[in-house]
Amino acid sequence: MSSEPKKLWGGRFTGAVDPLMDAFNASIHFDRRMYAADCIGSIAYAKALAKNNIITEQERDQLIGGLEKVMVEWENKTFELKAGDEDIHTANERRLGELVGSVAGKLHTGRSRNDQVATDMRIWLREEASSILAHLKELISITVNRADKEMDVLMPGYTHLQRAQPIRWSHFLLSHAWLWQADAQRLEQLIDRLNVLPLGSGALAGHAFNIDRDFLAKELGFRGIINNSLYAVSDRDFVAEFLFWASLTMTHISRIAEDLIIYSSGEFGFVKLADAYSTGSSLMPQKKNPDSLELLRGKSGRVFGSMSGFMMSYKGIPSTYNKDLQEDKEPMFDAADTLSGSLQITAGVLSTMDIFPDKMRASLTADMLATDLAEYLVRKGVPFRETHHISGSAVKMAEDRKVSLHELSNEDFKSLHPSFDDDVAAVWSFETSIENRNTPGGTSKSSVTAQIKQLKSWLADGKTL
C-alpha cells in the first residue's frame, strides 16, 4: 500500500496527477493564512457532531485537543507542510490525523470543502475587516483632532485646482474625515452582511446528518445561517463587496494624497512631510520626495485592479461551486493587507506633518472675494444674477488696470452700480468671508466646530450599525 498522503477528493482517481497540475491546483502558499479560521470552524463542527451523537464526547474532546495543538503549531511557526498539503484544509486535517489518529477522519462527516472554505473566508474577513475598521477610525480621530487644534489657519479653497474662496484648513481636513466616516459606515454594514454561516450546507445539496446549523452559527459568532445550500457554497458577493469597498476607500486615500503632494510642492509650500514619510533623490541632494503619498496614490490602482480581475473571474461561473472561485482569496488577502498598511501610513503622515499657516494665508488674494462683492450688493437688494455680472465687471476693471480688486476706489465701484457705498471696504476681509459661511456644513468657525463635535461624538459612540 502506498504511503503517500491521500487526496481528500481522490477516491475515484487511479492515475497520477501531473506535477504541474498539482502546483497549479494548490493554494496552500496563500490560503495558509486562514489556519486559525479553519481550526476554529472545525472545533465548532466537532462540537456540533457530538451534539447530534454523530461522534462521542470523547472523540469530540480528542478532535478539539488536536485542533488546538494544530493552531498552536501555526502560531509558533512550527507547523511543517508536507507533499500533498494542497490547501489549508488538507494540511490541517493531515496534521490532525497525525496527532489524534483515525478519529480525525470523522471530523469531515457531512462537511465538504465547499462549505468549509466559504466559512473560513467569512470568519477570516470578518476579523480582518474589524481590524481595518479600527485603523480607519484611528485615522479619522487623528484628522479630527488636528482640525480642532488648527482651527484658526486660513487657506485658499480650490475648484478646478484654481483658487476659489477662502476656507479654514480645518474645513479641508474634515472634508476627508467625512469621506472616511462614510467608508467606516459602509464597512460596518459589510461586516454585518457577510456575518452569516454557510457551514452545514455540504457540497451543495445540504447536510445528511441533521447538523444543528443554528448551534454552529452561535458557536462561531454568526448572526444567522444562509438559508439555501446552493447559494451558501457559491456566494462570493461578500468578497466582491469588500474589494469594491477597498477600492473606494483607497480612492479617498489617493485623493488626500494628491492634495498633500501638491500642497507640499515648492510652488505651494503649505505643508512639509516628516522625514519618516519622505525620501531623497539619488542624484539631486536638495530633493525631499513625498514617496509615502505617491505610494498611497499608486496602491489605489492596485486594489482596483484586484477588484476588476476578480469580477472577471466571478461573472461567468455557473452554479454552484467551481474551481474558478479559488481566485477569490489572493485579491481579498492583498486588498486587506494594502488597506491595513495604507490607513496606518496615512495616519502617520497626518499626525507628523508640519503646516505653514503664513504661506497658506499669503496665497489668499482679493479676487477670491469677488463672490463676497456680489453678496454685498445682494444685501443692498440687488438680484444676485445682476450682482454676479457687476462683480465680474469689477474684476475685469482691476485686471485692465493691473491692480488688485480691493485697490479699486469707492468711486470705481459706484461707477459700476449706485448701490455701492463707502462700506464696501468691509468686503476685503478673509475672516469675514469665512464667518459669513455659517450654515451647517460651512467653513465658519461655528460650523467647523459643530462638525468636529459630530465626528468626535460618533467616534466616542463606538457602536457598529
Q: Which residues contact 78 (CB under 8 A, 6 or more apart)?
A: none
Task: Give the model's pLDDT for residue 74.
Answer: 98
Tell me the HSE value of 322 on the side-chain side, using a 13 A CA sphere. Answer: 9
DSSP sequence for 256-312: HHHHHHHHTSTTT-SEE--GGG-B--SS-TT--B-HHHHHHHHHHHHHHHHHHHHHH
Query: How many Å apart are CA 277 and CA 297, to the nearest integer?
Result: 14
Report yes or no on whether pTM surpasses 0.85: yes
Is the C-alpha dihedral spanning 353, 356, 359, 362 positive or negative?
positive
Task: Give the model's pLDDT for residue 410.
Answer: 93
Higher pLDDT pick, 221 / 286: 221
Q: Are 277 and 292 in contact (CB under 8 A)?
A: yes
Q: Are 145 and 439 in contact (CB under 8 A)?
A: no
Task: Give the model's pLDDT for residue 6.
Answer: 56
Catalytically annotated residue among 265, 281, 308, 404: 281
Judged against a pLDDT cut of 80, whether residue 15 lies above it is answered with no
Q: Please give the mean pLDDT across all residues of the chain.
A: 93
Task: Give the model's pLDDT for residue 464.
Answer: 46
* pLDDT average, residue stretch 114-120: 97
* pLDDT average, residue stretch 216-227: 98
pLDDT band at 13 (very low <50, low <70, confident <90, very high): very low
Judged against a pLDDT cut of 70, whether residue 205 lies above it is answered with yes
* pLDDT average, residue stretch 66-94: 96
Judged against a pLDDT cut of 60, whether residue 7 lies above it is answered with no
Please indicate whether residue 160 is annotated as part of the active site: yes
3 state SS of 379: coil
Task: Give the model's pLDDT for residue 23.
Answer: 78
| Cell representation of residue 148 | 480642532
* pLDDT average, residue stretch 116-134: 98
pLDDT band at 400 (very low <50, low <70, confident <90, very high): very high
Q: Which residues contact 151 (CB under 8 A, 6 or more apart)?
A: 168, 170, 445, 448, 449
Task: Give the model's pLDDT for residue 2.
Answer: 44
In percent, the amount of the chain with pLDDT more than 90 equals 90
Judged against a pLDDT cut of 60, whether residue 419 lies above it is answered with yes
Residue 248: CB atoms within 10 A of its CB come to 18
Per residue in 429-451, pLDDT (tens digit) is: 999 999 999 999 999 999 999 99
Query: How many Å apart are CA 236 and CA 249, to the nearest integer?
Result: 20
Higher pLDDT pick, 400 / 281: 400
Task: Give the model's pLDDT for residue 463.
Answer: 58
Q: Are 46 and 63 in contact (CB under 8 A)?
A: yes
What are the sequence ranges of the domains in the chain?
A: 19-106, 113-160+167-201+223-362, 366-461
Per residue in 162-179, pLDDT (tens digit) is: 999 999 999 999 999 999
* pLDDT average, residue stretch 297-315: 96
Catalytically annotated residue among 2, 3, 102, 160: 160
In order of 27, 173, 313, the CA distances from 143 in angstroms are 40, 6, 38
Per residue in 29-61, pLDDT (tens digit) is: 999 999 999 999 999 999 999 999 999 999 999
pLDDT band at 17 (very low <50, low <70, confident <90, very high): low
CATH code linked to domain 366-461: 1.10.40.30
Q: What is the DSSP letter of 197?
A: B
Per residue in 185-204, pLDDT (tens digit) is: 999 999 999 999 999 999 99
Reported residue count of the chain is 465
Per residue in 323-339, pLDDT (tens digit) is: 999 999 999 999 999 99
Q: Which CATH architecture has domain 113-160+167-201+223-362?
A: Up-down Bundle (1.20)
Nearest partner of 357 among 270, 444, 238, 262, judged by Cα: 270
Judged against a pLDDT cut of 70, whether residue 11 lies above it is answered with no
Q: Specify the fold of 19-106.
A: Fumarase C; Chain B, domain 1 (1.10.275)
Query: How many Å apart are CA 308 and CA 304, to the nearest integer?
Result: 6
Per residue in 222-242, pLDDT (tens digit) is: 999 999 999 999 999 999 999
Higher pLDDT pick, 182 / 25: 182
pLDDT band at 257 (very low <50, low <70, confident <90, very high): very high
Task: Give the model's pLDDT for residue 465.
Answer: 37
Please indicate whether residue 281 is annotated as part of the active site: yes
Query: How many Å apart are CA 285 and CA 237, to the nearest integer?
Result: 50
pLDDT band at 279 (very low <50, low <70, confident <90, very high): confident
Give me the residue label for grid cell 470552524.
41
**Matching fold, domains 19-106 and 366-461:** no
DSSP sequence for 129-150: HHHHHHHHHHHHHHHHHHHHHT
Judged against a pLDDT cut of 90, whether residue 94 lies above it is answered with yes
Task: Give the model's pLDDT for residue 24.
Answer: 77
